[in-house]
Amino acid sequence: MQRLYERHKAVTYPRTDSRYLTADLVATLPERVKACRVGAYAPVCGRILRSPIKAGPSFVDDAKVSDHHAIIPTEQGILPNSLEYGERKIYELVVARFLSALLPPCEYLQVEAEAVCGGERFAAKGKAIVQKGWQEIRELQKDRPLTEEEDPKGSPYGEEEESGNMPEFSKGQAVRFDGGKVTAGKTKPPAPFTEATLLAAMENPARYMEGADQGLKKTLGETGGLGTVATRADIIEKLLGSFMIEKKGQYIHLTPKGRQTLELAPKGLTSPELTARWEQKLADIAKGRARKADFEAEIRHYAADIVSDIKASSKTYRHENLTRKKCPECGKLMLEVNHKNGKMLVCQDRECGFRKVLSRATNARCPQCHKKMELSGDGESRFFSCACGYREKLSAFEKRKKESGGGVSKKEVSRYMDKMKKEAKEPMNQAFADAFAKLGL
């Protein structure tokens, strides 16, 4: 997205969470539509340009734009073939959402029928599309799955009742009951977060604030949730790097370290409500209803109280992933952790910071199940392993690939191993942890 903005000049400023445009941009919309008139969206752009563009309050509202307006294409046209694969996909998403906002609503007829049989009431409903409207864009994006926002049925937070085409009915009509059956099932628990759904939850955390004041929920909704567009992904990356969370496939799970940290930390620090309260006070300062000095003093007192409570607490942290292997630098027992690309041993002493890679995911494919394999071991004993149980020494793998005339070269494997060693030597301590260490708490 940043390259599309800086290098190609194809989209507007990307680091914004706004979904609205300002009124002064309305006059530029036809030129922006013309710039999108390439590829599969050309016919749609042509129909939009045949009549004046109506800018309604659904996407034009000066009051809902703070620093930057929503991300839209620029007037500078660009050929999709001139973009890299990832750039082209992102650009197409921006164009699709932009054109969807300019298309008319999707209109449909919804039919609901209720029948009585044996004293029991049965209901059914269906719909028939009258005008596709913005849904026409969906047909041009058949290779892209629906997001949770667009398709509630795909969301782990609830399901919509299925509806299909319905025949014509009239009130009082008799219908024939040909048969039926009773089915039993269980509701599925919410799926674990992926990076995409976690980012969405950070942007709109109100649904997870059960029992919270409605005013606090509204404040978080208006201020953009937890973090900003520019910092949310970095927050997740830091949690992965500090082993508070870990990835298993595409899903994110809490580690034992993260679970204990939540149990040991003061409750106020683990709730979005604290962010909402501070945002409310910052808004009061901006409107002249509160003093900046009072808020700063409150923050200082709160920080001092939190530190005092932690120092006075009798709770202790216990490593649940401690191994019997000693750190070669300080002699302390090491911890086995999962990082985003495999497993590693890290010293439990943060100041020592020693780490050793045990295994790492690779692009090498298993010859049996064709899934990606992990590379483990040291020196000549390095080997590939697969979840299906297949194992192969690195030397045998290189020989097999050389004989088959494909795969990676020995030079590429050597470069990959040098990269692993370099990453293993990188210090674990973060600037935030170093700053705390100097306080002598």
pLDDT score of 179 more than 50 = yes
| Radius of gyration, alpha carbons of the chain | 28
Q: Check residue 115 and give left, alpha or beta (phi > 0: left; psi -120 to 50: alpha).
A: beta
* Mean per-residue pLDDT over the chain, rounded: 83
For tokens 């991300």, the residue is: 71
Following CA atoms 396, 401, 405, 409 in sequence, which dihedral angle do they give, to the nearest 10 degrees?
-100
pLDDT, residue 428, reads: 52
- Distance between first and last Cα of the chain: 42
CA distance 151 to 389: 38
pLDDT, residue 305, reads: 92
Two tokens, residue 425: 């030597």
* Residues 240-298 pLDDT 10s: 888 899 988 889 999 989 999 998 888 888 888 989 999 999 989 998 999 999 999 99
Query: Strand, coil or helix: what is 40?
Result: helix
CA distance 169 to 173: 7
C-alpha to C-alpha distances, 422 to 102, 113, 360, 408, nearest whole angstrom: 50, 67, 13, 20
Mean pLDDT of 175-193: 87
pTM for the full predicted model: 0.60
CA distance 204 to 218: 10
Crossing angle for the helix pair 410-424 and 394-404, to the nearest 10 degrees: 150
Confidence band for 435, pLDDT divided at 50, 70 and 90: low
- pLDDT more than 70, % of the chain: 88
pLDDT, residue 422, reads: 66
Confidence band for 160, pLDDT divided at 50, 70 and 90: very low
CATH architecture of 2-102: Orthogonal Bundle (1.10)
Confidence band for 101, pLDDT divided at 50, 70 and 90: very high
Confidence band for 64, pLDDT divided at 50, 70 and 90: confident
Burial class (CB in 10 A: 0-12, 13-18, 19+), 397: buried
Burial class (CB in 10 A: 0-12, 13-18, 19+), 438: exposed
- Number of neighbouring beta carbons within 10 Å of residue 66: 13
CA distance 151 to 218: 24
pLDDT score of 149 more than 50 = no
pLDDT score of 236 more than 80 = yes
pLDDT score of 12 more than 80 = yes
* Pair 218, 204: CB distance under 8 Å: no
pLDDT, residue 153, reads: 41
Buried-state track 165-198, b at ≥16 Cβ within 10 A, e below 16: ebeeeeeeeeeeeeeeeeeeeeeeeeebbebebb
CATH architecture of 195-312: Orthogonal Bundle (1.10)
Q: Which of 58-67, 120-129, 427-436 has the lowest mean pLDDT?
A: 427-436
Q: Which of 2-16, 266-280, 374-388 has the lowest mean pLDDT?
A: 374-388
CA distance 80 to 88: 6
* Residues 216-231 pLDDT 10s: 888 888 787 898 877 8
Residue of higher predicted confidence among 211 and 309: 309
C-alpha to C-alpha distances, 141 to 5, 41, 49, 100, 146, nearest whole angstrom: 23, 10, 21, 12, 9
Query: Using a CB cutoff of 8 Å and minimum separation of 24, what contacts does 289-297 make?
Result: none
Buried-state track 300-309, b at ≥16 Cβ within 10 A, e below 16: eeeeeeeeee
Burial class (CB in 10 A: 0-12, 13-18, 19+), 379: exposed
pLDDT, residue 48, reads: 92
pLDDT, residue 161, reads: 41
CA distance 117 to 176: 10
Q: Which of 57-61, 96-100, 123-127, 236-240 has the lowest mean pLDDT?
A: 123-127
pLDDT score of 132 more than 80 = yes
pLDDT, residue 406, reads: 57
Residue of higher predicted confidence among 181 and 407: 181
pLDDT score of 433 more than 80 = no
Mean pLDDT of 178-186: 86
- pLDDT more than 90, % of the chain: 28
Query: Strand, coil or helix: what is 247?
Result: strand
Two tokens, residue 139: 């047909």
pLDDT score of 171 more than 80 = yes
**Residues recognised as catalytic:** 13
CA distance 438 to 9: 45
pLDDT, residue 4, reads: 93
Domain boundaries, the chain: 2-102, 106-132+150-172, 195-312, 323-424
Two tokens, residue 423: 């990453």
Q: 124: closest CA among 154, 164, 175?
A: 164
Residue of higher predicted confidence among 433 and 116: 116
